[in-house]
Homo-oligomer: A and B are copies of this chain.
Amino acid sequence: MSDPLHIAGKTYQSRLLIGTGKYKDFEQTRQAVEASGAEIVTVAVRRTNLGQEPGEPNLLDFVTPDKYTILPNTAGCFNAEDAVRTCKLARELLDGHNLVKLEVLGDQKTLYPNIAHTVRAAQQLVDDGFDVMVYTNDDPIVAKELEDMGCVSVMPLGSLIGSGLGVLNPHNLLLIMEEAKVPILVDAGVGTPSDATLAMELGCDGILMNSAIAHAREPVLMASAMKKAIEAGREGFLAGRMPKRVFANPSSPSEGLISRD
């Protein structure tokens, strides 16, 4: 079944995007990336050596740009200016590469996005010719604004970065997807394969994760689990679930019921 994901003019078979931080070393990163089947790999420009430190191990020797789409991100930026500057640095380091993942965070403790700064930075980057994939909260009005501005993908959080709490508000994701014409990728919060399967069943176009793999007891095996979980969820979405059947008799005393779901 051919069911590719299109982002910024390129076509991908995998709908799993993964981060490169938090692994034991670059070799484990490489193994996890390989096991995950990911084709897009995101890199925190401020924390990862992509050539800024000439004598040190360079991630790009392990996860190579000829094989993977490298997606530089602005992790660690807490205002629009820092984020824009970081994207420009990434473009230089990667020889004119225009694809970036923008994140502007609200505080050190929760890493929740600062939306006012995110919107401002996104506008500047789009104007400057970047292809912007943008991390955001799950506000559907904001998601639409970011799409209308020209972002190539909108990436709402499932829950806080590094929390592993899964998709806390699937209803908001549905509202976002219903209006979207660009790919909606869940970014942050997924902790387990079932979290990933569930998010894909909702209809989202893909998922970006890092801690769920890197902080598993066995990261490489979890990378394999996540690959399958995402494919399972996507195929389940396309195959269309069986109807649910509740065995409640509508003429019974439970009519008018205040039920749990």
Say whether, besides A231-B228, A236-B225, A197 and B191 are in contact (CB < 8 Å): no
Chain A 201-237, CB within 8 Å of chain B: the 1/0 string?
1110000000110111111011011111101111111
| C-alpha spacing A137/B139, complex, angstroms | 7
Say whether, besides A168-B171, A177-B254, A245 and B162 are in contact (CB < 8 Å): yes
Q: Which of B198, B232, B239, B249 contacts A218 (CB 8 A)?
A: B239
Residues of A at the B interface (CB closer than 8 Å) are 1, 106-107, 109-110, 112-116, 119, 137, 139-142, 145, 159-160, 162-165, 168-172, 174-175, 177-178, 191-194, 196-198, 201-203, 211-212, 214-219, 221-222, 224-229, 231-249, 252-254, 256-261
| C-alpha spacing A226/B168, complex, angstroms | 24
| C-alpha spacing A238/B239, complex, angstroms | 28
Chain B residue numbers with a CB within 8 Å of A221 are 1, 235, 238-239
The reply to whether B258 and A237 contact each other, CB–CB distance below 8 Å, is yes
| C-alpha spacing A219/B242, complex, angstroms | 9
| C-alpha spacing A19/B139, complex, angstroms | 24
Besides A112-B175, A168-B169, A218-B240, 6 new A-B residue pairs in contact (Cβ under 8 A), listed by A number: A112-B141, A116-B119, A175-B247, A221-B238, A222-B241, A233-B258
Chain B residue numbers with a CB within 8 Å of A225 are 231-236, 239
Chain B residue numbers with a CB within 8 Å of A242 are 164, 191, 211-212, 214-216
The reply to whether A168 and B172 contact each other, CB–CB distance below 8 Å, is yes
The reply to whether A197 and B229 contact each other, CB–CB distance below 8 Å, is yes
Chain B residue numbers with a CB within 8 Å of A227 are 232
